[in-house]
Amino acid sequence: MRPLSPHIHQAQAMSTSQLLPAQTPASWKAAVVYQIYPQSFCDSDGDGIGDLAGILSKLDYIERLGADVVWLCPHLASPGVDNGYDVSDYEAIDPKFGNMQTNQLLIDGLHKRGMKMMMDLVVNHTSDKHTWFQDSRQRRGARADWYIWRDAKRSADGQRVEPNNWASIWGGSAWTWDATREQYYLHLFSPQQPDLNWDCAALRQEIYAMVRRWHARGVDGWRLDAINFISKPQDLSNAALDLPDAPVTQPEQRYQPAFELFSHGPRIHAYLKELYREALGPDVMTVGEAAGTTPEQSVAYTEWETREDKELQMVFSTEHVDLYGGFSLAPVAPLRHGEMRAVLARWQTELLPRGSWQSSFMSNHDLPRAVPNFLRAEAPQHRWRAAKLLALHQASQCGTLFVYQGEELGMINLPHDWGIEDYPDLVSQKFYHETLQARQAAGDAEPDMSDVMAAIRRKARDNSRSPMPFNGSASAGFSSGKPWMRVNPDNVVCNVEDQEQDADSVLAFWRAALALRRAHDVLVYGIFELLLAPTLGAQDVVVYARTLGEKRAVYVASLGFEEVEVDLTKAGLTEEMQPALAVGSERSMHVLQGLEARLYVL
């Protein structure tokens, strides 16, 4: 990582008695992490697929943005059922991305720039093509129990049925029958992603050894995929307690959501403590994907400063993005800015006093683009202001910042006229075709699927996975060949080349916002305080302060499209004070235009 920034030295200058434990300065806390989806970032050899050499060619661009860490989504060997989240070899690079030598060049290139490399650690499950699974299904040696296998149950009429009623996260049963082993195996995701059995000590030791070998190659950190799912309620000595049925909450469905049973399982903390002791240690940057995690649960994982038996530095909670829903055929609900404000305040205030740090993100490879998702501001007259507002929003919050490729440009979702054939993700395809089959089974041979496509356009993961637009050409400067996925034609107005030449671009604003954060410790470590309860006519206004010693910053924004009046003297602001960075031209101290945002550093 680069040398400690000035703001870290400023925070260190405060006496420890003035700081909460979690405010102890650290480079990983002040870091900006740039997330790359390799398949869609930059193609160096013209085969239409982004690769490691392409990423290597863009390191100067990433460094100029202000990033300290690059996080690569999975690029290890994989059949690609879930775009790399089905790993078939943990110590081989998928040939479509390059090889171990190119991977090492990328690590070395980052280190030469004072930057770090973070990889995805996908160890809740593997690919069904992994040799571990192939050995396990053959009951071969020590690996026989490295996955979760159970005998079939029998229905009243003698038919073979699954061991329990769990639904997979993506629908259907969480169990698949294996004719070779003559047992069912558990998969919380697709049938091609069998879950590993973390209760097996030999498996855990193999994982830890693999992680240590990657550290020896220079990997600096990990994003731990679906990490809150690794411990399941297993008890082979008591059938009643062994992977019990989920409560019936959807009576019309054969398989039931089991999130409360497989999330934050009985031995999750013991396993993560062991992972820390055996493989991670204090110098490895870690963030765990932990969907559905509350602040209290997050603290249990991330009390980094207040206990010796450490686990993770941060988790990705999803409460703020969950407010905006997933695939749904229900009418589009109003935006929930009031709830968003409350969620923000809860996470920003409940972790620091308990020795925990958090991540801050608005976009990633599993979400639609932030501008339409949080603000529904794709229209040309709104999108650029909206993108800058969200940039300033992130830069002014406590927590390590994660920026997803294209977010720094203000990218938006895929076009409304694209068909299902243009959405390659298995989740989009499954949602569409299962709904189609259900409607056909109900007697409609050619059902209207416009509502399904509308839901997919709003929420599909594909929205964030289209090729990175480096210029306005047909292939977006992503590839000299035919891209693996259609280029979003929005690249003619939203691309790196044009924004590099525009001092008022979203890219320029992101660079300014990250530079401002780097220069002011209060924006990294300051205590958060939500100000100004929403009033009638100003429900879309968000005002909060950050305080560190004598230093104070105030963020003011209107998330709506209409002009609103707000008395900012109640936030301690005066007419003489000027924002350090702002979105929109200030007409009056106490009047906010639609999608206006200001950040004062006092």
Cβ–Cβ contacts within 10 Å for residue 526, how many?
24
What is the radius of gyration, based on Cα positions, of the chain? 24
- In the block, which residue shows the tokens 């509502």? 451
**Among candidate residues 184, 94, 93, the one with its CA nearest the CA of residue 136:** 184
Given 195, 199, 225, 462, the catalytic residue = 225
Report how far residue 278's alpha carbon sits from residue 265's, in angstroms, rounded to the nearest whole number: 20
Q: Is 444 helix (H, G, I), strand (E, B) or coil?
A: coil
What amino acid occupies position 176?
A: T
What residue ranges in 436-550 does DSSP mark as E strands? 527-531, 541-548
Task: Tell me how long the chain is.
Answer: 602
Tokens of 9: 């030295």
Residues 6+ apart with CB under 8 A from 314: 286, 287, 288, 302, 357, 358, 359, 399, 400
Q: CA 470, CA 70: separation in Å to the nearest integer?
A: 18
Contact 177, 160 (CB under 8 A): yes
318 and 340 Cβ atoms separated by less than 8 Å: no
Q: Check if the beta carbon of residue 248 is closer than 8 Å to that of residue 166.
A: no
Given the residues 51, 86, 162, 289, the one annotated as active site = 289
User: Terminal CA-to-CA distance of the chain, rounded, Å?
Assistant: 29
Is the separation of the CB atoms in 313 and 290 below 8 Å?
no
Q: Is the distance from CB of 87 to CB of 37 less than 8 angstroms?
A: no
Specify the residue for token string 């936030």.
571
Ordered alpha helix ranges (H), 167-294: 201-216, 259-262, 268-275
Residue 220, helix vs strand vs coil:
coil
List the Cα angle 346/349/350 in 5-degree steps. Answer: 75
Angle, CA of 233, 238 and 243, to the nearest 5°: 30
Is 303 one of the annotated active-site residues of the chain? no
Torsion of CA 494, 498, 500, 505, to 10 degrees: -50
C-alpha 79/C-alpha 76 separation (Å) is 10
Residue 206 CA, chain-centre distance (Å), reads 26
Alpha carbon of residue 586 to chain centroid: 34
3-state SS of 320-362 is HHHCCCCCCCCCCCCCCHHHHHHHHHHHHHHCHHHCECCEECC
Q: Is 225 a catalytic residue?
A: yes
Identify whether the C-beta of residue 585 lies closer than 8 Å to the C-beta of residue 558: no
What tokens does 192 get?
């091609």
Judged by DSSP in three states, 592 sits in strand
Which residues are identified as catalytic? 225, 289
